[in-house]
Structure 1
């Protein structure tokens, strides 16, 4: 099927075959453009569209924007990547496992999302309990008052409600027994915002 592709289309297709699993989620056009070192997203879009018409890449839509090879279509049961555990208490070491978790579509957004499992009880007053699975929309910024995954000093991840000020960032727990944590803006990197939650009663 690839015999009718141009050289550039074949290069893009072969890159996807080789590197697609290295992305934590199916890459967007912007992410693929950066990975390939291309300067024009418009040109890449035309090449990807040709691969879609050739049946090698899955059509993109508002729900599933990432670029996927047709043989790697997730269907309804593949779900979102599970990236490990997140502390709802003191920060713990960030863990990435990249295992799929089945998630109802109404619990995540059109943007890239992933799943974490909660460890700790600092967010219990928000109804977020130890052992819950939470759905995180991948972002590097958030509005004040949103519940975020915050990476502290580049190594420890925690789940808290964020308050951002010019001189410092406050991460608020939702547990009356716990105190807020305060950091300089340089210490805190936002990795995503809470958009969904799942709980098992088994």
Structure 2
């Protein structure tokens, strides 16, 4: 689920003020932080954050909500392998995997294992695990999970131009892949990397 700018702002305020409040802020305190006059409009945004799994209601308490920490003990979903070479499909296995909080983005995240060597000049090697923040937009130059023609997913550095998307490898032996804009959907942006030396 894609958050609106306002919902992202509310979530960021909750994260930024985690240490400030001994208990989660009340709706009135949140309204004050955001400059909102109505609790009604705030409630709609909070409900979207609950549905996204970023906050949870606190039953029976006036204070309403608290953050769901993304690095909680259950881990984040491991969704299989993704190509960093020729595109292959990312397969949903949804096993939980432990990831340090420092490697997580602000929104929901998942882990994929890299297959291939097209991103080696960016330090991403075959067998590495990448932590991806789930989102549908990216900045030019971001390393993204791109779904191509609703069939195959690949890990590449993205360049977006009017009407086209270019997916750049980080390996001089490989060529960039050029697609029509409607053929590519961004599924997330790289936030962290895990590697085993065993």
Structure 2 length-normalised TM: 0.69
Q: Distance in 2 between matches of 1:128 and 1:98?
A: 22
Q: Distance in 2 between matches of 1:60 and 1:177?
A: 49
Quote how far apart the aligned CAs of 1:153 are.
Answer: 0.3
**Equivalent position SS for 1:116:** strand
In structure 2, the partner of 1:88 is 84
1:64 equivalenced with 2:32 (yes/no): no
Contact 1:94 1:155 in 2 (8 A): no
Cα separation, partners in 2 of 1:81 and 1:41, compared to 1, 3 Å: farther
1:52 equivalenced with 2:53 (yes/no): no
Quote how far apart the aligned CAs of 1:194 are.
Answer: 0.2
In structure 2, the partner of 1:115 is 111
Which structure has greater helix proportion?
A: 1
**Equivalent position SS for 2:66:** coil
In structure 1, the partner of 2:12 is none
Contact 2:57 2:65 in 1 (8 A): no
Q: Distance in 1 between matches of 2:153 and 2:107?
A: 21
Q: 1:188 aligns with which of 177, 184, 190?
A: 184
Structure 1 length-normalised TM: 0.68
In structure 1, the partner of 2:164 is 168
Quote how far apart the aligned CAs of 1:45 are.
Answer: 4.4
Number of matched pairs: 154
